Structure 1
Amino acid sequence: MKFGTVRFADGVQGGVVVGADGQSVHPLGRDLESVILAADTLEAVLRVGAAASERPATPLSDVTVRKPFTPAAIRDFVAFEEHVVGVRKSVDGSSGVPEQWYAAPTFYFTNPHAIYGPDEPIARPDLCRALDFELEVAAVIGRQCRSVDEAQARDAIIGYTIFNDWSARDLQSAEMKVGLGPAKGKDFASSLGPWLVTADELENHRDADGFLELDCSVSVNGVEVGHDSLASMGWTFETMVAYASRDSIVKPLDILASGTTGGGGCLAELWGRGGSQHPPSLQPGDLVTITVDGLGTLSTPIVAGTPTPELTPFRRRS
């Protein structure tokens, strides 16, 4: 099933998208977050969707699609080796892949309070002149996990959605020199949606090793920039969930993003490989469109940011 959040004539609520091309939506009668939090299994979510399908449907052309839900927490991994090679060269001038990268599926936490949905504009940060997209897919958690194995992790994933981890590369490059990871280079925006596609819908896309063979592409102003298969990941989502839960807690409404695909899944990868900032960074007026087989299309216009106030500089002590 495909779940989403839409603005109907009588307000915003969750819905089940139906039809060969997703032409209409049945209202859930409540928000999608509450459905996920109340359910402990994928089967429970599917039962809610089946019940909603008995209600009258509304054409998608008559509603506004919003972000499907607000994540409780966002762990963003870096699971594509090709991406690491290119983006390290661009962001910090390093070559190759660090050996430690192969030891475990590394991730960082990003901001769940700055989530945008389909067609919602993203403002380029005031001090940024190297704005970049990141083509990713995120697994959505429906059951609490702590130190689970990979089989249990698979049962905890209720579905998948498209994720765009926007990046201010010039800000990121400067702050990464401190050694703590990205901060203002990442925390201003992430885009999510348009749908939460339940895990059962994608089972027939698994390869022999359990990776999801989904075609992924991204374009800027209608010109394709990146193209890869989700199966190019170095770890499955189940491995990433199990690792994230190790000695810790992963909760319902958490999302675990794949990290950026290879094949031009972000501009910085191409800049690192080519040695110059080509294609150019995103500018106000640009339109970024991500399409993932089975998950839909997520489009985002870029707009100018607003000026930010000056900060008091660091006080040096004698």
Structure 2
Amino acid sequence: MKFATWEHGAGVVGEHGLHALPPGVSVLDLVRAGLPAAIEAGTAALATRPIPLETVRLLPPLQPETIRDFVAFEEHVEGVVASVGDGGGVAAEWYEAPTFYFTNPYPLYGPHDDIPVPPGSALFDFELEVAAVVGRHVASEPADRVGDAVFGYTVLNDWSARDLQRREMKVLLGPAKGKDSATTLGPWLVTADELEPYRDEEGFLALDLRVSVNGTLVGQDLLSNMGWPFEELLAYAARGTTLRPGDVLGSGTCGNGGCLAELWGRNGATSPPPLRPGDVVEMTVEGIGTIRNRVVPGPELPAVAPARPRPRTRERKNSV
């Protein structure tokens, strides 16, 4: 089943359009209720009159409280380290355990919304990912026990200001402002059972992922090229802590052109060029759907003030 959220409503995606849930019921409410209850509510909604998809503005399928974004594709790391990092190749520590950062859950955009360029960025980029939505509380459980903890999946675009990211990561923190301005989720939330036919013999979802800019294919990969399946990512995220229903876990960017920075690292130049206002980025994930966003100018703000020369005084000049 596919659940969607739109302006003034939420519901199920049917053959002839969208079928609304009762007023006041959100997709996040269904996730928190659990998959069996969500399927029951969705089945009831399918009996209502369909709303033509083209008459609504789709929003992100849910508003999560937390978003953890992993970096689970080795090929992506190889290219991006050469572009954004120190060029030293994949760190040995990458292979030891999944790594993630917490991204901002507030600036979420729908599957067809315009995306503003972050203030001060001249190297704007996309990142093609799949996100898993947690369906139950998980606390320090091994990976072989969390197979039922994924409610469903959606497409995730982790928009990235690479010039801001380069600076802040040299301080050994972040990414922060480099990935703080926008995340696209959509077009809907597909329940995990729908994607089980794509699972390979190693337990990975072998979904085809593609991204194009202005109609030109830039990247293509299989989700099964992840270093760990989602169950391992989920178990690691819950290690020593708790995940709640509705929390989002991003796969990290796929390889083979899943972002421009990977290609910049491999090509030794900013080719293809960074995103500019007017560019249209389209991502399609097999079994889930397509998101399509246009880049627009962002707000113009004053330059960030640099740090002042560091004082070395240890006493106040004037006594209190």
Structure 2 residue identity aligned to 1:166:
W
Letter in 2 for 1:53: L
Q: Which amino acid aligns with 2:311?
A: R
Question: What's the counterpart of residue 272 of structure 1?
Answer: 265
One-letter amino acid matched to 1:110 = T
Letter in 2 for 1:180: L
- Aligned residues of 1:172 and 1:186 also touching (Cα < 8 A): yes
Cα displacement string for residues 16-72 of structure 1 (whole angstroms, at most 9, x for unaligned residues):
0011xxx411101122122222x1x32221111111112221221222222111111
Which stretch has the larger CA shift, 300-309 or 193-202? Answer: 300-309
Residue number among 111, 114, 124 corresponding to 1:118 in the alignment? 111
Query: Equivalent residue for 1:196?
Result: 189
Alignment match, 1:5 = 5
Q: CA deviation at 1:310?
A: 4.1
- Give the 3-state SS of the residue equivalent to 1:104 in structure 2: coil
For residues 1-318 of structure 1, the aligned pairs below 5 Å read 1-7=1-7, 12-19=8-15, 23-29=16-22, 30-37=25-32, 39=33, 41-315=34-308, 316-318=310-312
Determine if contact 1:13/1:32 at 8 Å carries over to the other structure: no
Q: Distance in 2 between matches of 1:183 and 1:196?
A: 26
Partner SS state of residue 291, structure 2: strand
Output the CA distance in 2 between the equivalents of 1:217 and 1:94. Answer: 26
Residue type of the partner of 2:85?
A: D
Letter in 1 for 2:155: I
Contact 2:73 2:252 in 1 (8 A): yes
Letter in 1 for 2:297: A
Distance between the aligned counterparts of 1:183 and 1:311, measured in 2?
15
Write the deviation string for residues 192-236 of structure 1: whole angstroms up to 9, x where unpaired. Answer: 001100000000000001100100000000000000000110100
Q: Give the residue type in structure 1 aligned to 2:2.
A: K
Could you say what secondary structure the match of 1:89 adopts?
Answer: helix
Give, in angstroms, the shift of residue 93 of structure 1: 3.0
Give the length in aligned residue pairs. Answer: 309
Structure 2 unaligned residues grouped into runs of 5+ = 313-320
Deviations 1:161-220 (A, max 9, x none): 000001100110011000012111011111100110000000000000110010000000
Per-residue deviation, 1:152 = 3.0
- What 5-or-longer segments of structure 1 have no aligned partner? none
Q: Which amino acid aligns with 2:13?
A: V
Q: Is the contact made by 1:72 and 1:252 (CA closer than 8 Å) also made in structure 2?
A: no
Which residue identity is paired with 1:246? Answer: R
Mean Cα displacement is larger for which, 228-237 or 87-96? Answer: 87-96
Amino acid at match of 1:271: W
CA-atom RMSD in angstroms: 1.1
Q: Which has the larger radius of gyration?
A: 2
Where 2:284 maps in the other structure, the secondary structure is strand
Shift of 1:312: 4.3
SS in 2 for 1:16: strand
Amino acid paired to 1:100: E
Letter in 1 for 2:90: V
SS at match of 1:109: strand
TM-score by length of 1: 0.95
| Inter-partner Cα distance in structure 1 for 2:54 and 2:174 | 42
Mapped partners of 2:66, 2:179: distance in 1: 15
Conserved? CA contact 1:163–1:192, under 8 Å: yes
Tell me, yes or no, if the aligned pair for 2:120 and 2:303 is still in contact at 8 Å.
no
Structure 1: distance between partners of 2:66 and 2:300: 28
Secondary structure at the counterpart of residue 6 of structure 2: strand
Question: Deviation string for 1:87-132 (max 9, x for gaps)?
Answer: 0000023232111100101100000011111111111112100000
Instruction: Give the residue type in structure 2 aligned to 1:66.
Output: L
Percent identical across equivalent pairs? 53
Give me the whole-angstrom Cα distance separating, in 2, the residues matched to 1:2 and 1:186. 28
SS at match of 2:165: helix
How big is each residue's C-alpha offset from its partner over 1:278-312, in whole Å with a ceiling of 9 and x where there is no partner?
00000001000000001100111101111113444
